[in-house]
Amino acid sequence: MNPLLEAHPEPVLTARAMREADRQTIETLGLPGRVLMETAGRGAAEVAARMLGTVAARTVVCLCGRGNNGGDGFVLARVLHARGAHVHVVTLADASAMSDDAAANYRLLEHLAEADPAHRLHLHRLTDLAELDHLPRADLYVDALLGTGLSSPLRAPIRELVQWLNEHPAPILAIDIPTGLDSDTGQVLGAAVAATRTVTMGALKVGLLLGEGPRLCGTVDVIDIGIPRHVLEQAARQPGCAWRASDALIRQWLPRRAHDAHKYSAGLALIVAGSREFTGAPVMAATAAARIGAGYVLCACPSDVRPVLATKLTEVALLGLPETERGGIDQEDAFDVLDGWLERARALLVGPGLGRHPDTQRFARTLLERTSLPAVIDADGLNALVGFTELIPRHAQGRWILTPHLGEFRRLAGDVDLTHRIKVVQEYAQQWHCVLLLKGMPSVVGWPDGTVWINATGNPALATAGTGDVLAGLCVGLLAQGLPPTQAAVCALHVGGAVADHYAAHYGTATMMASDLLTYLPAVLRTRFDR
């Protein structure tokens, strides 16, 4: 792909948006559906051939539904047959019950089966599931039963066919979407194919990336079937759709250290964090901010915690905040100490390890109400807003990045149904007029304008204490260098996940600790992001 294209974000579509893109291409641009299907089936056959290694004399079983997903399967069957494979096509419906394009491809197979002297093409019209046992053992099974047309839990006999398919140890190639997987949420609807590989048409589908999607899809190949990029990007503006960043885009967004930079030009990140109970969080966050390139990091923590942090932080300046006799941060005295620094800071992070003392929470809220700095609100900074969420739309004004995990989000937003995570993040980011980074596997970022990003990097190694503190530090470090909150959140996630991927590639996913992210960050920034 040419570098310009690569720097484009990748659209991630819902079934409805994909159907809209199909329709737009067919009806408005005039590219016949039959041609889309031929291109889709041939692209899928290429992936099947790569999975097989050699095609000639191999046995392929294609389970085909009666819609266009099945049609893709018929084209794939024809291509692999032409390349020498023994192909068994299993259908559950007569051609008369198929979609037009699928029926046309089915009839083409019928003519080929009759004409083939080597009899390598077999069409099985299934009337009883027991007939499946007469099929030969296949080198590859193809799931062309259902794609974006799936609208409800799988009905019989498709459900049984899916279960039969999953009982076979041979590799499975899913066409467009593993049958039974909800393409908008990644939920399993009744039953779903556990594919070795998925070849999806035109653009990624949301359900391949969320929920059960990653587990059921195996490796995902997106194939270009002739739907123009602008049509896919237009379709991606529909609710429930999202985008994925590429390394090239992140490389474009990441700040470069100016050759004449000095510590203030590279931005002062002010981090309000730490408490007697939690002294690790501020260290992780502050170090991450420094490592990602903030020129000057100042960590403001309760006075009696300062000596402890001083033993752990060298490059990070420390500021002791006065405390009330009850042990929380004393609001008035704290502002006397902070005010000068708030003037010079370019970005603020409130929360890591701050604790939930009511005086501290009141101070955190007042600080957020008073400042107009771009700010990251994480962990106990978010907990201080529970019951005060009206502060968010009133003060965020697009300048805040909220970084809740699921529990913190539920405490703020109430017990929302997170089945449609994309829509929920979209809705709250718009409603709160903030950048909402909802952590999870994968994490999702909502922008105030409704754009949503699904993180493309990361792995289960991140499920360990302290990685949230590092992420918050990366966010504030990028803000301090002038990145807008929208891009800072997407970059922090993408880079943090890339470091975790680098670690996992060398050491696996079980041993990583949050501080490893800080250790390997410079190497990954240099090699993968050219910084």
Using the contact rule CB under 6 A, the part of the chain among 144-152, 307-315, 354-362, 377-385 near ligand NAX is 144-152
From 62-70, 83-91, 423-431, 517-525, span contacting ligand NAX (CB under 6 A): 62-70
CA distance 100 to 449: 40
The verdict on whether residue 443 carries a ligand-binding annotation is: yes
Q: How far is the CB of 73 from K ion (least distance, A)?
A: 8
Please report which helix (H) or strand (E) contains residue 42, including its range: helix 33-52
| Total residues binding ligand NAX (CB under 6 A) | 28
Closer of 7 and 223 to K ion (Cβ) = 223
Cis peptide before 157 (omega within 30 of 0): yes
Going from the C-alpha of 525 to that of each of 147, 245, 251, the distances in angstroms are 38, 16, 9
| Tokens representing residue 346 in the block | 């370019």
The span of 35-43, 262-270, 292-300, 326-334 binding ligand NAX (CB under 6 A) equals: 35-43
The residue among 20 and 116 lying less far from ligand NAX, judged by its C-beta, is 20
Angle between helices 33-52 and 68-82 (to 10 degrees): 50
Pick from 154, 283, 289, 493 the residue near ligand NAX by CB under 6 A: 154
CB 386 within 8 A of CB 361: no
Say how many residues make up the chain: 531
Reference 204, options 7, 490, 421, 454; nearest CA is 454
Q: Which is nearer to K ion, 174 or 488 (CB)?
A: 174
Q: Are 133 and 164 in contact (CB under 8 A)?
A: no
Asked if residue 263 belongs to a known ligand binding site, the reply is no
In three-state form (DSSP H/G/I as H, E/B as E, the rest C), the secondary structure along 117-155 is CCCCEEEEECCCHHHHHHCCCCCEEEEECCCCCCCCCCC
**Integer Cα distance of 179 and 63 in angstroms:** 11
508 a known binding residue?
no
Residues 78-137 that bind ligand NAX (CB under 6 A): 99
Query: Binding to K ion by residue 143, rule CB under 5 A?
Result: yes
Contact 15, 196 (CB under 8 A): no
Q: Are strands 219-223 and 197-201 parallel, antiparallel or unpaired?
A: parallel
Rounded Cα distance, 391 and 387, in Å: 10
Q: Per the annotation, does 139 bind a ligand? A: no
Which position among 14, 45, 49, 67 is part of the footprint of ligand NAX (CB under 6 A)?
A: 67
- 461 belongs to the binding site for ligand NAX (CB under 6 A): no
Q: Is 148 in the site for ligand NAX (CB under 6 A)?
A: yes
Which of the ranges 33-41, 423-431, 449-457, 513-521 carries the binding residues for ligand NAX, by CB under 6 A? Answer: 33-41
For residue 469, say whether it is annotated as part of any ligand binding site. yes
Interaction of residue 66 with ligand NAX, rule CB under 6 A: yes
Residues 11-30: x where in contact with ligand NAX by CB under 6 A, - otherwise, as a string: -----------x--------
Q: Which is nearer to ligand NAX, 36 or 429 (CB)?
A: 36
Q: Which of residues 262-301 bind ligand NAX (CB under 6 A)?
A: none
Q: Out of 51, 175, 462, 483, which residue is the one contacting ligand NAX (CB under 6 A)? A: 175
Report d(CA 531, CA 527) in Å as an integer: 8
Minimum CB distance to ligand NAX, residue 80 (Å): 17
Binding of K ion by 179 (CB under 5 A): yes
Instruction: Give the whole-angstrom CA distance, residue 193 versus residue 29.
Output: 34
Dist. CA 49–CA 65, nearest whole Å: 21
Per the annotation, does 96 bind a ligand? no
Selection from K ion, ligand NAX, none that 184 binds (CB < 5 to 8 A by kind) is none
**Cβ 252 vs Cβ 281: under 8 Å:** no
Residue 179 annotated as lining a ligand binding site: yes
Contact between 15 and K ion (CB under 5 A)?
no
Q: How far is residue 50 CA from its own chain's centroid? A: 26
Distance in angstroms (rounded) separating the CA atoms of residues 12 and 360: 41
Distance in angstroms (rounded) separating the CA atoms of residues 161 and 297? 59
Binding site partner of 28, from K ion, ligand NAX, none, Cβ cut-off 5-8 A by kind: none
What does the radius of gyration of the chain's CA atoms come to, in whole angstroms? Answer: 27
Binds 179: which of ligand NAX, K ion, none (CB < 5-8 Å by kind): K ion
User: Nearest distance from residue 2's CB to ligand NAX, in Å?
Assistant: 24
* Alpha-carbon gap, residue 143 to 172, rounded angstroms: 7
CB within 8 Å of 236: residues ≥ 6 apart:
11, 12, 13, 17, 203, 242, 243
147 binds ligand NAX (CB under 6 A): yes
Q: Which stretch binds K ion (CB under 5 A): 176-184, 239-247, 400-408, 479-487?
A: 176-184
Q: Which residues bind K ion (CB under 5 A)?
A: 143, 174-175, 179
Which residues are documented as binding site for K(+)? Answer: 69, 143, 179
Site residues for ligand NAX per CB under 6 A: 22, 33, 36-37, 40, 65-70, 72, 99, 146-155, 158, 175-176, 201, 225
Binding site as annotated, residues for (6S)-NADPHX: 68-72, 147-153, 176, 281, 353, 405, 469
